[in-house]
Amino acid sequence: MKNFDCVVVGGGMVGAASALALAQLGLTVALVEQYEPKSFEKEQKLDLRVSAISLASQYLLEQLSAWSQVMKWRACSYKRLGVWEQEYAYTEFNANDIEQSHLGHIVENRLLQLSLWEQINLQNNIEVFCPERLISLSQNTDKATLVLENSSLMAKLVIAADGANSHVRQLVNIGITSWDYQQSAMLINVKTQQPQQDITWQQYLPTGPVAFLPLSKSSVSVSVENSLEQSEQGGYASLVWYHQRDEIKRLSVLSNQKLQQEVLAVFPKRLGGVEVLDKGAFPLTRRHANTYQKNRVLLLGDAAHTINPMAGQGVNLGFKDVKALQTVISNAIAHGECWHEENVLARYEMMRRKDNLLMQSTMDVLYHAFSHPSPLIKTLRNASLLAVSKVPVLNSAIKNKALAYACGI
Ligand SMILES: Cc1cc2nc3c(=O)[nH]c(=O)nc-3n(C[C@H](O)[C@H](O)[C@H](O)COP(=O)(O)OP(=O)(O)OC[C@H]3O[C@@H](n4cnc5c(N)ncnc54)[C@H](O)[C@@H]3O)c2cc1C
């Protein structure tokens, strides 16, 4: 049986980042993942699963040396964020307002995971077990034992980063509170007639929001020549269409050409012409684990919490979990404490639960406020957006604070 300081179950974006963050502290780490990420080919099609990576997440990924590779492959930075329901109340957030060059990047999940794995493969204190699956887990006072399909591991700390339906969470009997939003999200990758955009926008329709996330098929530091070439050819984008589940089911089985017609009929005119390249649907569920800790097992990322993706915060919360865990353990080591004592590990949940709950609740308030059919509420929400956009004192008091919060700074 192999012995490690930490075993991380799940090598997605959050699990891979936590393995690197723990290895940076000098700990020995095992990473257990069922599927190996595919390598990158320049011509590979744009992945459907993309994330808006906040500034705070970018800083963590830089610290883990995984950011520059993503930039070399492909990513799209954005510096503006447009939100509206009625055109007259259009509100735009700009990176300049918070003295930043950009608000974030839209990155394909698969590339982010792959870049983290490339760094993992360079560390001699991380051993990867892949393809491998967790079968069972038991704990006693000083260690946890994990039985995998092909081997067995022992560790002082187990990180559950195995996603929304976490097997580890179920094995250690941590319950969740959850509810369905009664909506699904359809992700649609398109080629746009308009050149590459530096804005991400979201319009609230009575049936749910429709959103535009700019994508790029080239690296961020493209030459002027390349970017001109791209602008002549148009850009790429990920569209997100939130709607009732039945409607998303209906849209999912349409041909790309038919879906394109429906997109053009429903999305705002500012989208311009598009060609649908790829599509997929995802149900929306909010989940929150009742506790993030069971003895020496800690939950991180989607294993601990999932939220409405309306504001693109899911994996950003997961990266904040990683940063908090690294801080807790590094402080304990610096103060000569036993870093894997249960009461030391408990500090991780104290740092993260309130913040995750606040973001989940903010998304719920937005979801309910913007889906309420009452004409009075509709007038109020548009008036609020207009006021935040046009009244200078509200502008700096609310708008810029909200923006900094969304960027995680
Ligand atoms: C429609 C949609 C849009 C989104 N947009 C955004 C966005 O713009 N910005 C954002 O921040 N977030 C967004 N999110 C959320 C984001 O995708 C998730 O928060 C993120 O993928 C969670 O990462 P994770 O590593 O915690 O989990 P996962 O990505 O689910 O990774 C879990 C990993 O564990 C592995 N695994 C599972 N079980 C086992 C096992 N038993 N043994 C071994 N390995 C196992 C899996 O193979 C997988 O690799 C969106 C979500 C949805 C549904």
With residues binned 3-state (H G I as helix, E B as strand, rest as coil), the percentages for the chain, rounded to 5, are 40, 30, 30
Q: Best of 132, 162, 284, 316 to mutate for ligand 1, by most ligand atoms within 8 A of CB?
A: 162
| Structural domain boundaries in the chain | 2-76+107-179+286-371, 181-284
Whether domain 2-76+107-179+286-371 has CATH 3.50.50.60: the reply is yes
| Nearest Cα to Cα of residue 303 among 118, 147, 311, 314 | 314
pLDDT digit string, tens, across residues 219-258: 765 444 444 444 456 899 999 999 999 999 999 999 999 9
Q: Is pLDDT above 90 for 394?
A: no
Q: Does domain 181-284 have CATH number 3.30.565.10?
A: no
Average pLDDT rounded to a whole number, residues 380-390: 69
What burial letters (b/e) apply to 379-400, b meaning 16+ CB within 10 Å? eebbeebbbbbeeeeeeeeebe
Both tokens assigned to 383:
């008036």
**Rounded CA gap, 237 and 30, in Å?**
37
Residue 37 Cβ inside 6 Å of ligand 1? The answer reads no
Q: Is 50 exceeded by the pLDDT of residue 192? A: yes
Q: Cα(88) to centroid of ligand 1, in Å? A: 37
- The structure's pTM equals 0.92
**Lowest mean pLDDT: which of 177-186, 228-237, 375-384, 400-409?**
228-237
What are 61-78's pLDDT values in tens digits?
A: 999 999 999 999 999 999
Ligand 1 mean position to 340 CA, how many Å?
A: 26
Distance 163 CA to ligand 1 centre (A): 5
* CA 80 – ligand 1 centroid, Å: 26
* Whether the predicted pLDDT of 311 surpasses 60: yes
Indicate whether residue 321 lines ligand 1 (CB < 6 A).
no
**Hunting for tokens 């390598």 — which residue is that?**
39
Name the packing angle between helices 55-63 and 109-120 (round to 10°).
20
Work out the average pLDDT over 148-158.
97
The atom number, within ligand 1, closest to the CA of 168 reads 41
The residue with tokens 């007259």 is: 88
What pLDDT, in 10s, does the model give residues 254-304? 999 999 999 999 999 999 999 999 999 998 889 999 999 999 999 999 999
Strand partners, 32: 9, 129
